[in-house]
C-alpha cells in the first residue's frame, strides 16, 4: 500500500511560505487505478512529483509497503514509473529502438532472448506491436503516449505515475489511453495514478482524488463524486469548488472521509471476489529468501539497514552497470546522429568548407624571407634597402602566417561550439527522466565525451592535414596539429559545460556564440590589448594559447617574422599545452557538476 500522511510541499514566494501541497493524506492499495483531478494550478502535478520524490516533502511522510520513504530512502528505480507530459523518446528512432534503449538502460538482461522477450511483451502490453518499426516523429499523439508508457513498463514498476497523458488527445484516443491504464492497474497489483484535467471516463477509475488549491477536497468512488459535491454532472465539480475556500473543503473531507474509504474498501472486495482484480502473492519474509547474487545488487547503491528496505532491494530488478549504460547511450547517440540528415550535412559542410577557406590565403604564407647578407654593406643606401626588403618580407610572411594560424584556431573554436553547445541542453528533459529511472550521470557524460571526441579528432586532424597539403606548415607540424586538436577540444568541453548548466538549448547556443566571438579580439593576436585588460582576460582565452603555441612551433626565421609584426608576448609551448589542458579539465568538471544537478521544471 502507498500511504501519504499530512504531506506538504512548501515554497517561498515574495518572502512568505506557500503550501503548494497542503496536508494531503491518502491511502492507495495495490491494484488500484486513481485519477487526480482539479482546476488548473491546484497542485496536481506538484503532488505527483512529491510522490515520485522529485519534490522533497516539506512535512508529513510517505510510506510504501511498510517503508518510510523519508527515513529509509526513496523508491528504487525499478519500483516506480513516471510518465511526464513531454515526450521521452527521440524522433529519429523507431518505436522498437526506443523501447530497446529504455530496457538496456534500466534492466540487466543476461541474454539476448531475455531482452527480446521483455521488449516484445511490453510492446504487446502497450498496444504497439503493429507499429514497432515506425519512427517516433510520425506517431500520433495517442501513439506517443503509449510509447511513453511502454518505456516505463520495461522495468515492471509497482507504481505508475502519469502526468496529463491524455491532454490534447481526441475523445477516442483519450478513452483508449484511460482504458490502457485501467488494464495496467489490474496486472501484478500495480498502482496507477493519473493526473488529468478531464472529467471524462471517470467510471474506469477505482477512485477520484480532487484537489483544490493544494488541499484534499475529495477522495472516493467515482460514482459518489457528484453526490459529495451536490451537483448533477461531473463537469459542474470545478465551478462548485470555487464557491468555498480550500480550508472549508478540507474540513468537510476530514469530517466525511472515513465513510468514503469504507466504500472504496467494499468496492475493492467485490473486484477481488469477482476475479476482476488479481493480486500477486506476497513475497516471503526476508529471512526465508536466498541471498541475492552479487551481480543482481544495484551498483553504487548501498542497501538500507531496515528489513522493509532490504526486502525491496531483494525483489527489485537488477540494474545494468555503468559500462553497459555507456555503451547503450553511445550507440543510440551515433544512430540519432546519422539519421539526422541536416546535422550530417552541416558537419560535412563544415569539414570541407572551413579548410578550403584557410587554403585560399595559404599562398601568402609561403613566400621567402630574405636574410641579411653576411658581409657588411659599404653602400649605406644598399644597406638601408636590404633592411627594408628583409623587413618587408617579414611583415608580409609574418602577418600571413600569423593570420592563417589564428584563422584555423578560430574556425576550430567555432566547430567546438557547434559540436556541444546544444548537446545536453536540447535533451535535458529526456536525460532528467532517464536519470530518474536509474541512469547514472557518469555513464551519460562519458557517452557525450566519447561521441564529441570523435568529432573533435576528425575535424582537427582534417583541418591540419588539408591546409598542410596545400601549403606546407613552416615548423613542427605535429605540434601545430596538437594545438589545433586542443583548441577544438577545449572549446567543445567549455561549451558542453555551458550546455549542462543552461535551462534551454537557445540559452546555451547564445552563450557559446558570445564565447567564440570574444576569442579573436581578446586573444591579442590582431591588436594588442592594454596590459591591465590583457593580464585579466588572457588566461581564459583558449584561442590565444593555441595560436601562441603554434607560432612558437614555427621555424626560427618564420617565428621571428611573426614576432616582428605582432605586438604581443608569446608563451612557451609547454605552458600553452598545460593551459589548454586545464581549460578542457575545467570544462569537463563543470559539465559533470551540471549533469548531476537536477533541472526538473
What is the predicted pLDDT for the residue at 373?
A: 52
pLDDT of 160 over the 90 cut: yes
The pLDDT tens digits of the residues spanning 8-57 come to: 999 888 878 888 999 999 999 999 999 999 998 899 999 999 999 898 89
The answer to whether 185 and 163 are in contact (CB under 8 A) is no
The CA-atom distances, in angstroms, between 10 and each of 60, 170, 507, 520 are: 12, 35, 29, 48
The CA-atom distances, in angstroms, between 582 and each of 230, 493, 547 are: 69, 11, 16
More confident residue, 222 or 167: 222
Q: How far apart are CA 583 and CA 519, in angstroms?
A: 14
Can you read off the three cell numbers belonging to residue 539?
588566461
What is the predicted pLDDT for the residue at 507?
A: 93
What is the predicted pLDDT for the residue at 280?
A: 76
The residues, ordered by sequence, that sit 6+ positions from 512 with a Cβ below 8 Å of its Cβ are 417, 421, 495, 498, 499
What is the mean predicted confidence (pLDDT) over 362-382?
A: 59
The answer to whether 93 and 332 are in contact (CB under 8 A) is yes
pLDDT of 385 over the 70 cut: no
What is the predicted pLDDT for the residue at 350?
A: 93
What are the backbone angles phi and psi of residue 191, rounded to the nearest 5°? -90, 130
The residues, ordered by sequence, that sit 6+ positions from 441 with a Cβ below 8 Å of its Cβ are 435, 592, 595, 596
Q: How far apart are CA 235 and CA 213, in angstroms?
A: 18
The answer to whether 210 and 253 are in contact (CB under 8 A) is no
* Secondary element (H or E) of residue 406: helix 380-420
The pLDDT tens digits of the residues spanning 267-294 come to: 999 998 888 888 876 555 434 434 444 3
Q: Which candidate, 427, 425, 431, places its Cα nearest to that of 444? A: 431
What is the predicted pLDDT for the residue at 287?
A: 41
Q: How far apart are CA 601 and CA 597, in angstroms?
A: 13
More confident residue, 178 or 13: 178
> Using the 8-state DSSP alphabet, how is residue 475 labeled?
B
Can you read off the three cell numbers belonging to residue 578?
598545460
What is the predicted pLDDT for the residue at 520?
A: 76
* Mean model confidence pLDDT for the chain: 86
What is the predicted pLDDT for the residue at 121?
A: 94
What is the mean predicted confidence (pLDDT) over 309-335?
A: 81
Q: Which candidate, 199, 163, 219, places its Cα nearest to that of 46? A: 163
- The pLDDT-based confidence of 538 (bands split at 50, 70, 90) is confident
Burial of 279 (0-12, 13-18, 19+ CB in 10 A): middle
Q: How far apart are CA 340 and CA 356, in angstroms?
A: 25
The pLDDT tens digits of the residues spanning 393-449 come to: 555 666 777 788 888 999 999 999 999 999 999 999 999 999 999 999 999 999 999
Q: How far apart are CA 564 and CA 398, in angstroms?
A: 7
Would you kindly state where each structural domain of the chain is located, as residue ranges? 322-372+381-596
The CA-atom distances, in angstroms, between 346 and each of 202, 342, 396, 457 are: 50, 6, 35, 17
What is the predicted pLDDT for the residue at 267?
A: 92
> Using the 8-state DSSP alphabet, how is residue 528 labeled?
P
Q: How far apart are CA 277 and CA 545, in angstroms?
A: 69
pTM: 0.87
Tell me the HSE value of 242 on the side-chain side, using a 13 A CA sphere: 6
What is the predicted pLDDT for the residue at 495?
A: 96
Strands of the sheet with 16-28, listed across from one edge: 16-28, 2-13, 59-64, 67-68
Choose the weakest-confidence range: 23-27, 139-143, 382-386, 457-461.
Answer: 382-386
Q: How far apart are CA 251 and CA 23, in angstroms?
A: 11
Can you read off the three cell numbers belonging to residue 405?
594560424
What is the predicted pLDDT for the residue at 293?
A: 43
pLDDT of 598 over the 70 cut: yes
The pLDDT tens digits of the residues spanning 83-132 come to: 988 888 999 999 999 999 999 999 999 899 999 999 999 999 999 999 99
What is the predicted pLDDT for the residue at 306?
A: 46
The pLDDT tens digits of the residues spanning 296-308 come to: 433 444 444 444 4
What is the predicted pLDDT for the residue at 278?
A: 80
Residues counted in the chain = 601
What is the predicted pLDDT for the residue at 391?
A: 60
Amino acid at each position: 500500500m502507498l500511504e501519504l500522511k499530512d504531506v506538504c510541499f512548501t515554497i517561498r514566494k515574495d518572502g512568505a511560505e506557500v503550501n503548494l501541497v497542503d496536508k494531503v493524506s491518502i491511502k492507495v492499495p495495490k491494484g488500484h487505478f486513481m485519477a487526480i483531478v482539479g482546476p488548473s494550478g491546484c497542485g496536481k502535478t506538484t503532488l505527483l512529483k512529491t510522490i515520485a520524490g522529485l519534490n522533497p516533502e516539506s512535512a508529513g511522510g510517505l510510506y510504501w509497503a511498510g517503508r518510510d520513504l523519508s527515513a529509509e530512502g526513496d523508491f528504487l528505480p525499478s519500483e516506480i514509473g513516471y510518465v511526464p507530459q513531454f515526450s521521452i523518446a527521440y524522433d529519429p528512432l523507431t518505436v522498437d529502438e526506443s523501447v530497446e534503449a529504455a530496457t538496456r538502460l534500466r534492466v540487466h538482461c543476461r541474454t539476448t532472448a531475455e531482452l527480446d522477450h521483455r521488449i516484445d511483451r511490453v510492446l504487446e502490453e502497450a498496444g504497439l506491436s503493429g507499429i514497432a518499426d515506425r519512427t517516433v516523429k510520425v506517431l500520433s499523439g495517442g501513439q506517443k503516449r503509449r510509447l511513453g508508457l511502454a518505456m516505463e513498463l520495461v522495468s515492471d514498476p509497482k507504481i505508475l505515475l502519469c502526468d496529463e497523458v491524455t491532454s490534447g488527445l481526441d475523445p477516442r484516443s483519450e478513452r483508449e489511453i484511460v482504458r490502457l491504464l485501467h488494464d495496467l492497474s489490474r496486472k501484478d497489483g500495480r498502482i496507477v495514478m493519473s493526473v488529468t484535467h478531464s472529467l471524462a471516463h471517470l467510471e474506469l477509475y477505482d477512485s477520484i482524488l480532487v484537489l483544490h488549491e493544494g488541499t484534499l477536497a475529495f477522495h472516493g468512488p467515482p460514482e459518489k463524486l457528484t453526490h459529495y459535491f451536490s451537483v448533477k454532472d461531473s463537469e459542474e465539480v470545478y465551478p462548485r469548488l470555487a464557491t468555498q475556500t480550500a480550508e472549508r473543503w478540507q474540513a468537510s473531507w476530514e469530517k466525511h472521509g472515513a465513510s468514503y474509504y469504507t466504500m472504496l474498501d467494499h468496492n475493492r472486495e467485490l473486484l477481488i471476489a469477482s476475479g476482476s482484480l488479481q493480486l500477486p502473492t506476497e513475497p516471503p519474509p526476508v529471512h526465508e529468501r536466498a541471498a541475492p547474487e552479487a551481480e543482481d545488487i544495484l551498483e553504487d547503491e548501498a542497501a538500507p539497514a531496515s528489513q522493509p528496505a532490504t526486502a525491496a532491494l531483494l525483489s527489485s530488478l537488477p540494474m545494468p552497470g555503468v559500462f553497459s549504460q555507456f555503451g547503450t547511450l553511445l550507440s543510440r547517440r551515433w544512430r540519432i546522429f546519422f539519421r539526422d540528415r541536416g546535422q550530417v550535412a552541416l558537419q560535412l559542410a563544415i569539414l570541407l568548407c572551413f579548410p578550403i577557406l584557410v587554403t585560399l590565403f595559404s599562398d601568402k604564407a609561403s613566400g621567402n624571407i630574405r636574410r641579411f647578407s653576411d658581409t657588411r654593406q659599404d653602400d649605406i643606401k644598399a644597406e638601408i634597402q636590404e633592411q627594408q626588403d628583409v623587413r618587408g618580407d617579414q611583415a608580409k610572411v609574418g602577418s600571413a602566417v600569423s593570420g592563417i594560424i589564428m584563422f584555423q584556431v578560430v574556425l576550430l573554436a567555432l566547430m567546438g561550439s557547434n559540436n556541444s553547445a546544444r548537446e545536453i541542453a536540447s535533451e535535458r528533459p529526456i536525460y532528467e527522466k532517464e536519470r530518474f529511472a536509474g541512469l547514472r550521470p557518469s555513464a551519460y557524460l562519458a557517452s557525450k565525451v566519447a561521441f564529441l571526441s570523435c568529432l573533435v579528432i576528425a575535424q582537427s586532424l582534417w583541418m591540419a592535414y588539408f591546409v598542410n597539403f596545400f601549403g606546407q606548415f613552416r615548423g613542427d607540424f605535429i605540434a601545430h596539429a596538437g594545438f589545433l586538436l586542443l583548441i577544438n577540444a577545449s572549446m567543445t568541453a567549455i561549451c558542453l559545460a555551458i550546455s549542462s548548466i543552461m535551462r534551454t538549448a537557445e540559452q546555451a547556443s547564445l552563450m557559446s556564440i558570445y564565447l567564440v566571438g570574444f576569442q579573436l579580439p581578446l586573444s591579442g593576436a590582431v591588436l594588442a590589448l592594454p596590459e591591465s585588460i590583457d593580464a585579466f582576460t588572457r588566461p581564459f582565452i583558449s584561442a590565444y594559447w593555441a595560436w601562441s603555441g603554434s607560432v612558437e612551433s614555427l621555424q626560427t626565421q618564420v617565428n621571428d617574422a611573426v614576432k616582428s609584426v605582432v605586438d604581443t608576448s608569446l608563451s612557451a609551448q609547454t605552458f600553452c599545452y598545460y593551459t589548454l589542458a586545464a581549460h578542457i579539465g575545467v570544462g569537463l568538471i563543470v559539465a559533470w557538476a551540471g549533469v548531476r544537478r537536477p533541472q526538473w521544471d
